[in-house]
Amino acid sequence: MQGEVWYPSDDVVAAAVVPDHDALAAAAAADPVGFWADRANELEWFEPWEKTLDDSNAPFFKWFTGARTNIVHNAVDRHISGPHKNKLALIWVGENGDHATYSYFALNREVERMANVIRSMGVRKGDRVTIYLPRIPELHFAMLACAKLGAVHSVVFAGYSADALHDRVNASESKLLITADGAWINGQVFPLKGIVDEALRFSPSVENVIVVRRTGQDVTMDALRDHWYHDLVALPIAKGRCETVKMDAEDPLFILYTSGSTGKPKAIVHTHGGYMVGVYATMKYVFDLREEDRYWCTADPGWITGHSYLVYGPLLNGATAFMYEGGPTYPYPNKWWQLIEYYGITIFYTAPTAIRSLMRFGDAWVNRHDLSSLRLLGSVGEPINPEAWRWFHRVIGKERCPLMDTWWQTETGAFQICPTPSMPLKPGSAGKPFFGQAVEILDEEGRPVPAGQEGLLVLTNPWPAMLRTLYREDERYVESYWSKFPGKYLAGDAARVDEDGYVWVIGRSDDVIKVSGHRLGTAEVESALVSHPVVTEAAAIGLPHEVKGNAIHAFVVIKPGIEPTLELGEQIRQHVGAQLSPIAKPDTVEFVYSLPKTRSGKIMRRVLKARALGQDEGDLSTLEAD
Ligand code: WT7
How does pLDDT run across 337-347, given as a tens digit for each residue? 999 999 999 99
pLDDT of residue 288: 96
pLDDT of residue 626: 44
Is the pLDDT at 536 greater than 90? The verdict is: yes
Mean pLDDT of 543-556: 96
Q: 208-212 and 176-180 as β-strands: parallel, antiparallel, unpaired? A: parallel
Mean pLDDT of 310-314: 98
Q: Give the distance (Å) from ligand 1 centre to CA of residue 208.
A: 34
pLDDT of residue 598: 87
Is residue 288 a contact partner of residue 11, using CB atoms and an 8 Å limit?
no
Pocket of ligand 1 contains residue 408 by CB under 6 Å:
yes
Distances (CA, A) of 20 to 14, 25, 285, 419, 437: 9, 9, 11, 12, 17
Q: Give the distance (Å) from ligand 1 centre to CA of residue 523.
A: 19
- The residue whose CB lies within 8 Å of the most ligand 1 atoms, and thus the one to mutate among 303, 307, 408, 412, is 408
Mean pLDDT of 404-419: 98
Mean pLDDT of 50-59: 98
Pocket of ligand 1 contains residue 254 by CB under 6 Å:
no
Is the pLDDT at 619 greater than 80? The verdict is: no
On the question of a cis peptide bond just before residue 331, with omega within 30 degrees of 0, the verdict is yes
Mean pLDDT of 25-37: 98
**Nearest Cα residue to atom 2 of ligand 1:** 409
**Nearest Cα residue to atom 23 of ligand 1:** 409
pLDDT of residue 625: 47
Is the pLDDT at 624 greater than 90? The verdict is: no
pLDDT of residue 617: 76
Q: Structure pTM?
A: 0.96
Is the pLDDT at 86 greater than 80? The verdict is: yes
**Nearest Cα residue to atom 1 of ligand 1:** 409
Pocket of ligand 1 contains residue 468 by CB under 6 Å:
no
Compute φ and ψ for 289, nearest 5 degrees: -60, 140
Band (pLDDT 50/70/90 cuts) for residue 623 is low
Strand spans (E) along 127-173 = 128-132, 152-155
Pocket of ligand 1 contains residue 480 by CB under 6 Å:
no
- The residue whose CB lies within 8 Å of the most ligand 1 atoms, and thus the one to mutate among 312, 356, 380, 520, is 380
Pocket of ligand 1 contains residue 305 by CB under 6 Å:
yes
Q: Give the angle 146-310-245 at the CA atoms, nearest 5°.
A: 25
Mean pLDDT of 400-411: 98
CA 578, 379, 606, 449 torsion-angle sign: negative
Q: Which of 59-63, 285-289, 601-605 shows the lowest mean pLDDT across its residues? A: 601-605
Pocket of ligand 1 contains residue 463 by CB under 6 Å:
no
User: What whole-number distance in Å separates Cα of residue 63 and Cα of residue 253?
Assistant: 14
Pocket of ligand 1 contains residue 380 by CB under 6 Å:
yes
Pocket of ligand 1 contains residue 54 by CB under 6 Å:
no
Pocket of ligand 1 contains residue 381 by CB under 6 Å:
yes
Read out DSSP for 60-89?
Answer: S-EEEET-EE-HHIIIIIHHHTSTTTTSEE
Is the pLDDT at 413 greater than 50? The verdict is: yes
Please state, rounded to an integer, the average pLDDT across all residues of the chain: 96
Mean pLDDT of 527-549: 96
**Nearest Cα residue to atom 7 of ligand 1:** 382
**Nearest Cα residue to atom 13 of ligand 1:** 382
Q: Give the angle 512-515-517 at the CA atoms, nearest 5°.
A: 95
Mean pLDDT of 475-490: 97
